[in-house]
Amino acid sequence: MVSAIESVTVGVSDLEAALRLFRDRMGYRIELDVRASVNLLAAWKLPVHEDVRLVTLSADGHAAGRIRLARFPGPSPATTRLDFGPGAQDRPTDAGPKALDIYTGPPIQSAIDAMAAGGCEARSRAERFEIGENDTEEVIVSGPDGVPLLLMVGHAHQAGARRFAPAAGGFSEVATVSIITADLEASRRFYEEALGFVHEATDIELRGEHRDAACRLFGVPEGTRVHFAMYRERRQPSGKVVLVHFYERTTGPLRHPMQPGQLGLSLFSCRCASLDALSARLGRAGGQVVSVIQHAAVDAGEPCRVMLVRGPSGELFEFIER
């Protein structure tokens, strides 16, 4: 019923600076450059007279895991997550969206250096994880307006877990969005029963050196219990969701939960076969409908039905019925 995450809307204060990073340095290509329609702004609960520019970028034209940059007018708005650095207003353990996970080619230091040249700061040294069939090296960098970007080198992966392995200096689409959940079982019901995502083999509490490495990566105290649970659209390796649970040390919510008009992570957008059927499933499995618009031009194409839904951890989805 519901597709993988086709795009992640990221609010930015300087659109041209963000394009210099994502387009010029990371090699993404522009697929759309439009103004938000009146009805779409209404669905987003923003003033319908605002001039909001939306630039959607892809990796090699891939349909899932795109980044939609949004420049909202007016004074600097709130930021969805600021949990690193001197201006941090959130805690690393606060429930809500944590990072956009993007593959890069080895060595990972080349990607860190390239991102640093584009104004991004690494939050820690890279950490290595060997869990089951997966062997990854990961680091989080702060992107435009502090948006967390988790860079991964996949040294070995379970078959079908990723679309392709980027060459050195290359970057994939958004393979995964990581979300910190305070209630793992409520999040399971939302993604499995309401959205119908497939439960991946990765569903594990980390222990020993891998737990400590995850704590360093996410900026939480060493010794914190960490659980990962992965969900995706069947047969789709991109636009996945990984739930991160810190057990009793999970905090939150974020000071500013996901919302269009803010800087940082604003929306996760998915296609939906039937909004009515999805709404009925939400009533049984969790998730709150925020708004429904019957005819909205989402990407300068034919009008669609749009429904915004807030998940158990404050994540905000835009479901589009074409």
Range of the domain at 146: 1-322
Domains of the chain: total: 1
CA-closest candidate to residue 173, choices 54, 56, 311: 56
Name the pairing type of β-strands 127-131 and 121-122.
unpaired
Reported as a single tens digit per residue, the pLDDT across 194-247 is 999 998 778 999 999 999 999 999 999 999 999 999 999 988 999 999 999 999
Predicted confidence at residue 168, as pLDDT, reads 84
Cα 30 from Cα 321, distance rounded (Å): 23
CA-closest candidate to residue 178, choices 77, 246, 86, 110: 246
CB of 311 closer than 8 Å to CB of 186? no
CA-closest candidate to residue 148, choices 66, 232, 83, 234: 83
> What percentage of the chain exceeds 70 in pLDDT?
99
Evaluated on CA atoms 170, 173, 176, 179, the torsion sign reads: positive
Over its C-alpha atoms, the chain yields an Rg (Å, rounded) of 18
DSSP state, 298? S
Confidence band (pLDDT; 50, 70, 90) for 65? very high
Cα 315 from Cα 309, distance rounded (Å): 8
pTM above 0.85, yes or no: yes
- Residue whose structure tokens are 């034919």: 302
> What percentage of the chain exceeds 90 in pLDDT?
84
Q: How many residues does the chain have?
A: 322
Confidence band (pLDDT; 50, 70, 90) for 130? confident
Cα 315 from Cα 22, distance rounded (Å): 23
Residue 92: CATH number of its domain: 3.10.180.10
In angstroms, the first-to-last Cα distance of the chain is 13
- Residue whose structure tokens are 């807030």: 310
Rounding to the nearest 10 degrees, give the CA dihedral for residues 77, 80, 84, 87: 20
Average pLDDT, the chain: 94
Reported as a single tens digit per residue, the pLDDT across 86-106 is 889 999 999 999 999 999 999
Which of 55-64, 126-135, 160-169, 289-298 is predicted most confidently?
55-64
Predicted confidence at residue 219, as pLDDT, reads 96
Q: Amino acid identity, residue 238? A: S
How many other C-beta atoms can be found within 10 angstroms of the C-beta atom of residue 253? Answer: 14
DSSP state, 85? S
